[in-house]
Structure 1
Amino acid sequence: MSTTPILQTPSKDYPETIDNWAVLQELKILQEKLQEKEVADYVTPVDNREILQKLELEKDELTSIITSIGFGSILTGLTTFSIALLGLLLAWKPMVRLEKVARLIKLITAILEEFESQQVETLPLQKVPGREQPIDLMIRFPGKEFLLLAIRSFGEATIIYNESRGMLYYKRERKGLNKLKPDPLTDLSEQAYWLKKNRRDFFGSSKGVRKPMAKVLVIWGQTKLATHQEHLYTTLGGQKFLFIPREGGACYVIHQTQVIEFIRAYLAHRQSQEQAA
């Protein structure tokens, strides 16, 4: 079948021929621009600096709570093992929350330093109904790309992926392997599904919801990431990252020190995909 554009016959009213194919291409470009505008129009803007201030305030409040619990035990002279254990239990949840908030402050600050000029937005600690564990951090470049991050630390341990069992394990010196519980990769997949289904406002439009969202497990601090077999790595922007295929969507697993490099490489990768489409 011929693909030659059909040119209309000139008439008195239209002395120049009309290239139907060119007109259709112009309409397609216009439609794409309108779709991009739709995303920008309906994404609620985020004030990253205000979010950081709120996290800093929560950090100060949690520090005060933990200090008060410890100081109160000393004042009352309660030094028995059972009372000491009770004090530890009372402070445990605030301590866990404090550690998470401190990590997020550090991570968001680094992300803003690198990507604020690209209109990056950070949404930390989004609650998921029925689940104790919140979404640690969602990153979005409005109308462009979305990333979902879970941050985990296991002290002085090494994270290993067992391909035959499809599970992540941690190993400490002179000890065997232990499963990561709860499984952070399962958490990421379920969180991504919930976001796409229930929080379309995060994505701005139906087009935004359909865009891929990178699910990333960030191993934090002293916890190390083991070297795995070559086929478990994928290349983004010329760099290799651990990429675990699984039911519910593949997940990247990176170390804290790789976060900025990963985001930069992922954005470049997605841009090349869009240009090739």
Structure 2
Amino acid sequence: MNSAFPHTPEAVAEALPEQTASPATLDKTGESKKHSNRDEIERLEEENRFLVTAYTVTTGALGASLFVPELFTKFAAYAAGTIGTRFVLKRAQKVISVLKHTKALDKAFAEQGVEIFTELPVPDHGSLDMLVKFPNPPKKAVFAIALRSQGKATIFYNEGKECFQFRRGTGMKTWTPDHIERLSIQGYWLRMNQSELFGTSRNDRNRPLVKVLCLTGDTKIGTHGDHLYTQVGDQRVLLIERKSSIFVLEEHQLEGFIQGWLTQSNKPKTPKTSMSGNQDN
């Protein structure tokens, strides 16, 4: 193997198609144009195709009879060994998850004018997987959604330690990073630095952010005390309240949760349902 090939995830990432998930784009006249969920979906689909091919090259499944020099050159970063392979697989799983839920929410809420922004980078704090905005009255709302998996594991919230933990087999481990803190930081940074994501009016830009930790794949929520649950529409979900609050649910609940929130947002506020998890900090 050529030692000039990159051997780190950072170097591998440089070979990915450039991600252009920005809150606002410009047309040929320099004027901003309406956000397109279709553009987000097409970008994710393009990267997914790239990663599938890259993984094929990395694992050696691409036979010599199918060898294409240009293809090999493009994906050379992935041919460095197991580090590249693991990175590609992990990235592919994330892209597939974001793509799946972007398509589902776009289809479910198209009539409400939903706008979905994906993979918004926040310096030193990763990327927000999905920012889902309902810009039209009477159901204006903004959701910050983190899609997370711990494989075949069960997630618990430890009230004493104020942290999420996961159980895989018999052991219990702390789940890092702190998803409540991270979502709070991401929401705050985006509001301060990309306020156009939230809308054009002062009210829109000050609109509370609904933070959601959505467990994907085989990762499930364990059983908790009744006081940690809340009802949003027909979905019973965890509501973890600290300095910042977060709703925790499984991916099959996401669409119903959002629909329930939009319905409840037009009703009088209740002590511990839709309004208590809104603050960015």
**Shorter-chain TM band:** 0.7 to 0.9
- From 131, 134, 137, the equivalent of 1:138 is 131
- From 19, 26, 43, the equivalent of 1:54 is 43
Q: Given the alignment of the two structures, is residue 260 of structure 1 paired with residue 249 of structure 2, yes or no?
A: no
Distance 1:97 1:201 in 2: 28
SS at match of 2:60: helix
Deviates more, 1:90-99 or 1:218-227: 90-99
- Cα 1:123–1:114, aligned 2, differ >3 Å: closer, same or farther? same
- From 233, 239, 249, the equivalent of 1:237 is 233
Q: Given the alignment of the two structures, is residue 124 of structure 1 paired with residue 153 of structure 2, yes or no?
A: no
- Cα 1:190–1:226, aligned 2, differ >3 Å: closer, same or farther? same
Instruction: Report how far residue 107 of structure 1 moved.
Output: 0.7
- Cα 1:43–1:114, aligned 2, differ >3 Å: closer, same or farther? farther
Aligned residues: 221
Q: Structure 2: which amino acid aligns with 1:65?
A: A
Deviates more, 1:53-62 or 1:264-273: 264-273
Distance 1:242 1:209 in 2: 27
Distance 2:214 2:63 in 1: 37
Q: Given the alignment of the two structures, is residue 100 of structure 1 paired with residue 89 of structure 2, yes or no?
A: no
Q: Structure 2: which amino acid aligns with 1:89?
A: I
C-alpha distance after superposition, 1:204-230 (max 9, x if no partner)? 232112211110000011111012111
C-alpha distance after superposition, 1:158-216 (max 9, x if no partner)? 0001111111000012x221011112222111111111211110112321122111100
TM-score with structure 2 setting the length:
0.73
Q: Structure 2: which amino acid aligns with 1:219?
A: L
Q: Structure 2: which amino acid aligns with 1:53?
A: E
Distance 1:227 1:109 in 2: 30
SS at match of 2:267: helix
- Aligned identity (percent) is 32
Instruction: Report how far residue 46 of structure 1 moved.
Output: 1.5
Distance 1:188 1:96 in 2: 21
Q: Structure 1: which amino acid aligns with 2:212?
A: V
- Cα 1:239–1:102, aligned 2, differ >3 Å: closer, same or farther? closer
Instruction: Report how far residue 127 of structure 1 moved.
Output: 1.1
- From 154, 161, 168, the equivalent of 1:165 is 161
TM-score with structure 1 setting the length:
0.74
- From 212, 221, 235, the equivalent of 2:217 is 221
SS at match of 1:71: coil
SS at match of 1:221: coil
Instruction: Report how far residue 44 of structure 1 moved.
Output: 5.7
More helix by share: 1
2:239 touches 2:246 (CA, 8 Å); kept in 1? yes
Equivalent residue, structure 1, for 2:104: 110
Unmatched runs of 5 consecutive residues or more in structure 1: 1-41, 76-84
Unmatched runs of 5 consecutive residues or more in structure 2: 1-30, 65-78, 270-281
Distance 1:238 1:54 in 2: 33
C-alpha distance after superposition, 1:122-150 (max 9, x if no partner)? 1000111233x211000001151100000
Distance 1:48 1:226 in 2: 34
